[in-house]
Structure 1
Amino acid sequence: MVRTPLTPWERQRGERLGALLREARGRRSMVEVAAVAGLSAETLRKIETGRAPTPAFFTITALASTLGLSLDVLADACVQGLDEGEEPMSA
Structure 2
Amino acid sequence: MLLALPTTTLLWYFRTCDTRENIHQNYFFDAFKKLTNNKVVRHEIATQRLTNLVKKVPKYKEEIKLAFIKVLKSFPRKSTSNYERRTYATVAYQ
Could you say which structure has the greater relative contact order, defined with CA pairs below 8 angstroms and 6 or more residues apart? 1
Q: Same fold (TM over 0.5)?
A: no
Instruction: Tell me the TM-score normalised to structure 2 length.
Output: 0.34
Instruction: Tell me the TM-score normalised to structure 1 length.
Output: 0.35
Higher Rg: 2
* Higher share of residues assigned helix: 2
